[in-house]
Amino acid sequence: MNQPAQVKAATCRDAPVLKERGQREVFCGLTGIIWLHRKMQDAFFLVVGSRTCAHLLQSAAGVMIFAEPRFGTAILEEGDLAGMADAHDELDREVGKLLSRRPDIRQLFLVGSCPSEVIKLDLARAAERLTQVHAPHVRVLNYSGSGIETTFTQGEDACLASMVPVLPGTEARELLLVGALPDVVEDQAVGLLSKMGIGPIRVLPAHRSAEAPGVGENTVFACLQPFLGDTAAALERRGARMIQAPFPFGEEGTTLWLRAIADEFGVDDATFEAVTAAPRARARTAIANASEHLRGKTIFFMPDSQLEIPLARFLVRECGMEAVEIGQPYIHKGLVGPDLDLIPEGPTISEGQDVDLQLDRVRAARPDLTVCGLGLANPLEAEGLTTKWAIELVFTPVHFYDQAGDLAGLFSRPIRRREILRLEVAE
């Protein structure tokens, strides 16, 4: 009533977005298979595509290719391109062979690629048909990880969104955590929430198809990753409600994320404080130790995974960095809005990419640290810039309190290395 009006400081929420189209230096959605197949232990990912798709997966999977991987590519050949009926017969044959060889598989994903999308191979129909053939033992689903439709982490979004319609229904009031995280991190998240008395807690994707969560009108869900727009929409179509929060990176992000869920479940302040005080203090200590080289340094994010805005928020607010440009392949304001609210006005927010124009901006700004893909990192280092390769941020445990120091460390290490090496650089 009589309180002074709050004047909100200007934030990036309403900053104009620089939208660019042109050459993009990013992965396609097929890459998501690399971490998704580790998380879903009874799933097999079968890409229907070309030798290029197989080559990409192998290049991205590095040495994992030999741990009896649960993914592969059905490589299209000349004959498959000639007639459509033929392609479906071929697919049925390869899937039959695959499933007889791997009886442990319960979920099979037919993953669309650029070639399969361009020739309009109807994988959705193939999935329905094959589900009937292999029921009840195996469920066959379909999504597209093609480059013409998805960028890098959007592959996970497309995969999870394809699972939502077939999740069992439930009337129970349950919390659903959405997004594939390393087990150690997922356990921490579940542990913290459980200590506050919140439950039952389910996760999507589950480790095994038998543990798939239910969804319904009383389900509330929180996203663990900012790239899950389609999955969130699919859950909302099933009546579930999303809990809005910044993403759980750093001490502040984790606290705000937990706070939003705690509020939803009516957890009182004392309980919240009791559960979070110690890990918060730990996180702050770890961040303080790890971020001494980051304070006052400038950072430039090239688009990669949609983690850029939440990570920039962490680095700006908790590590004292200054963001020059924050580029994302795609910006879903419904998900990263709360993070944008916390970043003070200043940095350019960009969506999409014309890589040569963006590199011109990098060179003009000469930031202390450039976050970019592996195709650009060494070339920029050779130009005297310090880089942090972005893919690691998707593969390494970085969420929640006890990874906050590691997360800051990922960014400080290249800067520290630049400072300690005494090399006569022969450029």
Partner 1 sequence: MKLTVWTYEGPPHVGAMRVATAMKGLHYVLHAPQGDTYADLLFTMIERRNHRPPVTYTTFEGRDLGEDTAGIFKKTCQEAYDRFRPQALIVGASCTAELIQDDPGGLAETMDIPVPVVALELPSYQRKENFGTDETFYQLVKALAGPVEKTPEVTANLIGPLALGFRHRDDIEEVKGLLYEMGIGINVVAPFDATPQDMTRLGAAHVNILMYPEHAETAARHMERTLGIPYTKTVPIGVGATHDFVAEVARICGVQPKKDLSRLRQPWWSKSVDSTYLTGKRVFLFGDATHVTTAARIARDEMGFEVVGLGCYNREFARSVRALGKEFGVEALITDDYLEVEKAIEDAAPEMILGTQMERHIGKRLGIPCAVISAPVHVQDFPARYSPQMGWEGANVIFDTWIHPLVMGLEEHLLAMFREDFEFHDEAGPSHHGGHAPKPVGAEQAGLAADAEAGAEVRISGKMKDAEEEVPTGTGSDVMVWLADAERELKKIPFFVRGKAKRNTEKFAAERGVTEISVDTLYEAKAHFAR
Question: Footprint of partner 1 on residues 40-79 (CB under 8 A)?
Answer: 46, 48, 50-52, 54-56, 58-60, 62-63, 65-66, 69, 71-78
Give me the sign of the Cα torsion angle 354, 357, 360, 365.
Answer: negative
CB atoms within 10 A of CB 86: 12
* Residue of 11, 17, 90, 418 that binds partner 1 (CB under 8 A): 90
For residues 190 and 22, what is the distance between their CA atoms, to the nearest angstrom? 42
**Three-class secondary structure of residue 282 per DSSP:** helix
For residues 388 and 384, what is the distance between their CA atoms, to the nearest angstrom? 13
* Residue 196 touching partner 1 (CB under 8 A): no
Q: How many residues does the chain have?
A: 427
Cβ-based nearer residue to partner 1, 267 or 376: 376
Cβ-based nearer residue to partner 1, 151 or 305: 151
Task: Please say whether the beta carbons of 398 and 409 come within 8 A.
Answer: no
Scanning residues 328 to 387, which ones bind partner 1 (CB under 8 A)? 356, 373-379, 381-382
Task: Please say whether the beta carbons of 212 and 258 come within 8 A.
Answer: no
Q: How far is the CB of 368 from partner 1 (least distance, A)?
A: 18
Q: How far is the CB of 401 from partner 1 (least distance, A)?
A: 8
Looking at the chain, the number of H-run helices and the number of E-run strands are: 17, 14
For residues 236 and 25, what is the distance between their CA atoms, to the nearest angstrom? 32
Scanning residues 312 to 331, which ones bind partner 1 (CB under 8 A)? none
Task: Using alpha carbons, select from 240, 257, 69, 74 the residue that is nearest to residue 160.
Answer: 240
Q: How far is the CB of 28 from partner 1 (least distance, A)?
A: 3
For residues 234 and 332, what is the distance between their CA atoms, to the nearest angstrom? 15
Instruction: Kindly write out the interface string for residues 103-132 of this chain, putting x where it contacts partner 1 by CB under 8 A and - elsewhere.
Output: -----------xx-xxx-------------
* Residue of 205, 213, 338, 405 that binds partner 1 (CB under 8 A): 405
Query: 117-141 in b/e burial notation, b at 16+ Cβ within 10 A?
Result: beeebebeebbebbbeebeeebbbb
Instruction: Kindly write out the interface string for residues 272-301 of this chain, putting x where it contacts partner 1 by CB under 8 A and - elsewhere.
Output: ------xx--xx-xxx-xx-----------
Total residues at interface with partner 1 (CB under 8 A)? 81
* Residue of 12, 33, 42, 80 that binds partner 1 (CB under 8 A): 80
Q: How far is the CB of 71 from partner 1 (least distance, A)?
A: 7
Cβ-based nearer residue to partner 1, 17 or 98: 98
Question: Contact region for partner 1 (CB under 8 A) — 18-26, 159-167, 219-227, 302-310?
Answer: 18-26
Q: Position 374: which residue type?
A: L
Question: Contact region for partner 1 (CB under 8 A) — 5-13, 88-96, 219-227, 229-237?
Answer: 88-96
